[in-house]
Structures are given as structure tokens and as C-alpha cells.
Amino acid sequence: MKPLIRQGMVLLTGMVLGTGATLGAQSFHQHRQQHAQQQPEAPKTITTPLGLRGDPSLGSSQAPVTIVEFSDFQCPYCKRFHDQVLPSLKADYIDKGLVRFVHKDLPLPFHEFARDAAETARCSADQRQYWSTYRALFQGQECFDCKGIKTLSENAGIPPNKLEICKKAGASRKAVNSNLSEAELQGIRATPSFVIGPSQGDKHTGLLVEGAMPWPQFKALVEEALKKSESS
């Protein structure tokens, strides 16, 4: 009888495991199906104005369209935008006076070096080196832990003693905190995020776009914003 009992238990165990595997496979398949069928959320419009005074910018303040970037120097998708989209945006629109580009900091809490990078870049603005530091930080993103934020900023032309003085003064920390509070109030939590709309001086509203998209797709949004600015 014992061999029969043992065989029966093996058979029962196999049935249970088989059923569990089948249910697990079905659950996984349903999850993938639901995810595939999920529709993207409708674009959100920022109607409560963002404040732009004091934030780093590229391009003419008289440009018809302003794009505000919420970014994190340690975010790989932000680096993708920097590498693959910003050069074309700058050449085709910013340098031609059509778009003003404004940076706001949104260092995510799970990125170890993001906050330090944001404050370092802010301090570089005092030396008129913000955008060179911006480029250096994104280019060196994969080596924040081996080279260090300070070394990357020094390579961009920031004297280390002036960087330390700036950080101790606390103005860069306050600027980053201000951007973080603004993002929280607006419900902006993803990086990179962009607010695209007509230029309004030191205030800004517009379409909220999340994620690093390919240049043709981003360009289409810029063209649409320019058309709206012409008709308004």
C-alpha cells in the first residue's frame, strides 16, 4: 500500500503544481494583455502659472514659445533627451529665436547623486558656466560615483573654492527646493517632464508632456505650439 500512497501523493503534488503554474501563466498573460491595451492618459494642461524668474534658460525671452524642463541629472531618460533631442531643438528653434528653453530641477529621491548635481549646476550659474556644467553632468552621468560631481564641475570650468562657498551659502539648495515644491504643487513627478506653451514673461502655463520621446514626435509638439502662438 505504501508505494501506491506515495504514487498518489506524487500525482496530487504534480496536479497542484501544474494548476498553480497554469494559473500563474494565465495571470501573467492577462497582465500583459491589460498592459498592452492600456490607453495613454490624456495630456494634462498646467493652468496655474510656473514661476521662471531665476531659473537657467536658453534662447530669447521674446521667443513665441517657451519650454520648461523638469529634469534630474541622474535620470537616464533625461540624458536621452539631452543627447538625442536637445541638440536639434537648439539648432532648429532655440538658436533661431523661436523657442526659449528653461530648466527646473527635479532630483528624484532614489537617485543618490541627483541632488548634489542639481545644486552644483546652480552654483555654476554664478560663474556664467551653467550650461557647460549642465552638459558635463549629463555626459558624465555614468561616472558620478567614480569621478564625482565636484570633478565633473571642475572640468567644466568651475573653481572648486567658489563652488564650496556657493554651496555653504545655501542659495543653490533653496533654488532646488523651490523647484521641488513647485513640481509637487503641479503634480509633476516624472523626469523628464516638459511644459510647452506660449511665452508669458516670468510666468508659464501650457501642455504637460512626460517622458523622453524621439525628436520627430517632440518636434511635432513644438510646431503645434508655434501654430497656436501665431493664431492667438
Report which of residues 66 and 156 the model is more confident about.
Answer: 66
Question: What is the reported pTM?
Answer: 0.80
pLDDT average, residue stretch 54-60: 96
* Ranges assigned E (strand) in 72-137: 99-105
pLDDT average, residue stretch 156-178: 89
Question: Cα separation of 182 and 104, whole Å?
Answer: 9
Q: Which residue has the cell 517632464?
A: 193
> How many Å from the N-terminal Cα to the C-terminal Cα in the chain?
89
Cα separations (Å) of 126 from 45, 129, 132, 156, 223? 33, 7, 12, 13, 34
- Judged against a pLDDT cut of 90, whether residue 215 lies above it is answered with yes
pLDDT at 36: 34
CATH number of 44-231: 3.40.30.10
DSSP string, 207-231: EEEES---HHHHHHHHHHHHHHHHH
Mean pLDDT computed over every residue of the chain:
83
pLDDT at 41: 53
Domain chopping of the chain, boundaries: 1-38, 44-231
pLDDT average, residue stretch 98-116: 96
- Of 134, 111, 151, the closest CA to residue 56 belongs to 134
Question: Cα separation of 31 and 125, whole Å?
Answer: 47
Report which of residues 41 and 219 the model is more confident about.
Answer: 219
